[in-house]
Amino acid sequence: MVRLAEHKELTENKAIQNAKLTVKVYIPLVQHFGRPCDKILVKPNDLVKTGQMIATSESGLFSPVHASASGKVSVITDWLHPVLGRAKAVIIESDGRDEKNYNEPAARKEIDAYSAEKIREIIFNAGIVGMGGAGFPTHIKLKPSKPVDTFILNGAECEPYLTTDHRLMVEHANEIIEGAKIVLKVLGIDNCIVAIEDNKPEAVEIFKKHLPAGFKLKILKTYYPQGGEKQLIKEILNKEVPSGGLPFDIGVVVQNVATVFAIYEAVDKNKPLYERVVSVTGSCIENPGNFLVRIGTTVRDLIQECGGFKKEPAKVVFGGPMMGIAQFSLDVPVIKTTSGIVFFSKEELVVREDRVCCRCARCIDVCPARIMPAIITMAAEKERWDIAKDYDALDCIECGLCSYICPAKRDLVHLIKYAKSRIKK
């Protein structure tokens, strides 16, 4: 693992602000790991309310999606998607009234009596997915097929620039802890470890004050990619998730703080996941900040929220600079997994040149998955997917460290991602 320049000072002390409701929201029918929602519950000209479920599926791995504004469905069509390029989306014209579809929460006594199954059903109906980036449907993750004994609440947020988890921990520690208690109840365990990196002293102090009995706080040294599930488990428990395996194979469930906050809001407030906190940051933005943003809001609308550009960006990335995805249009919408949008100037860009590997082995030294990026990428260049597979390309967590460290400026992570997609075919 490596210590990176953090650039978090741009937004780490900026309190979460509500972004304005926009005239239109563009809500993709796939915002999760799995298949797109294929049962669309609305049609053009239908009136919808904020939080109303607008698409779901009958089967498979998926998570329903909800309207993020009240108003009229204008069209259902292919639209830009920050991960997939394009995907089917429901476009809603807001009426500006923001009328909610969901009712007041149940009485405290009733909520406290919910069974694990009832809570999972609420989490499913609220459309909650892993908000740290993976987008895995949370109701599935909270039904592990093997016994678990440890829940790790992931507040590491190791990507440079991003500060959404940090601000949530500073401003909503109690709610996150209540969400963690709900997760423990669903898993039927009582062991929660809260993991926070030492570059977030304010969050650490707040959690120290609020931590209930039975919860442990683990303060981690700041390294990248500490926030990856497997790296976090290794660091905290000194246990390794087997190659091709998942944390529950060794009795662990990990959820990031934004997801746990969404679980709290679904169970205690009856609120579906139709908005999230997003860091809008980078040297090109006039007023970088952390914004509570409706799902489906476009980058173009968010830029207005931040006072526009102070210089022309050369690159826009969804997520952080290490694992994020570059965008080609400002009309792409925020989805459930969008933790940040970073705008880079021309001077900040690293030009990848695909030069020949000088066999320095630095990529191998830094790789947290302990695989050999140099060999895998050479195999990929020769389209030898069999060799790439034998060298465990599928264990790559796409952290980007190998590309970052490579003195030949080879675009290693790009090649490995491609190799993974070919192996899976």
Binding region for ligand SF4 (CB under 6 A): 357-363, 366-369, 371, 373-374, 396-402, 405-408, 410, 412-413, 416
Which is nearer to ligand SF4, 91 or 380 (by Cβ)? Answer: 380
Which is nearer to ligand SF4, 158 or 413 (by Cβ)? Answer: 413
Which is nearer to ligand SF4, 60 or 407 (by Cβ)? Answer: 407
Cα separation of the two ends of the chain: 30
Strands 53-56 and 65-66: antiparallel
Residue with tokens 């978090």: 8
**CA–CA distance, 85 with 195 (Å, rounded to integer):** 33
Q: Are 363 and 371 in contact (CB under 8 A)?
A: no
Kindly report the three-state secondary structure assignment for every residue of 334-371. CCCCCCEEEEECHHHCCCCCCCCCCCCCHHHHHCCCCC
Give residue 112's Cα distance to chain centre.
Answer: 28
E-strand stretches of 179-227: 192-197, 215-220
Which is nearer to ligand SF4, 70 or 154 (by Cβ)? Answer: 154
Smallest distance, ligand SF4 to C-beta of residue 33, A: 18
Smallest distance, ligand SF4 to C-beta of residue 255, A: 21
Half-sphere exposure of 233 (CA within 13 A, CB side): 22
Query: Cα–Cα distances in Å, from 310 out to 154, 197, 206, 286?
Result: 34, 31, 34, 5
Closest CA to 155 of 163, 146, 144: 163
Closest CA to 97 of 138, 47, 49, 43: 49
Smallest distance, ligand SF4 to C-beta of residue 2, A: 9
Smallest distance, ligand SF4 to C-beta of residue 402, A: 3
**CA–CA distance, 226 with 164 (Å, rounded to integer):** 16
Smallest distance, ligand SF4 to C-beta of residue 156, A: 16
Q: Are 105 and 270 in contact (CB under 8 A)?
A: yes
Smallest distance, ligand SF4 to C-beta of residue 223, A: 13
Which is nearer to ligand SF4, 153 or 396 (by Cβ)? Answer: 396
Which is nearer to ligand SF4, 65 or 402 (by Cβ)? Answer: 402
Smallest distance, ligand SF4 to C-beta of residue 102, A: 40
**CA–CA distance, 412 with 226 (Å, rounded to integer):** 20
Q: Are 413 and 403 in contact (CB under 8 A)?
A: yes
Half-sphere exposure of 42 (CA within 13 A, CB side): 28
Which is nearer to ligand SF4, 196 or 412 (by Cβ)? Answer: 412
Smallest distance, ligand SF4 to C-beta of residue 397, A: 5
Query: Cα–Cα distances in Å, from 401 out to 65, 123, 136, 241?
Result: 33, 34, 23, 20
Residue 156 token pair: 């590491």
Which is nearer to ligand SF4, 122 or 413 (by Cβ)? Answer: 413
Smallest distance, ligand SF4 to C-beta of residue 401, A: 4
Residue 367 token pair: 């790789």
Which is nearer to ligand SF4, 65 or 254 (by Cβ)? Answer: 254
Closest CA to 281 of 251, 255, 249, 305: 305
Smallest distance, ligand SF4 to C-beta of residue 243, A: 12
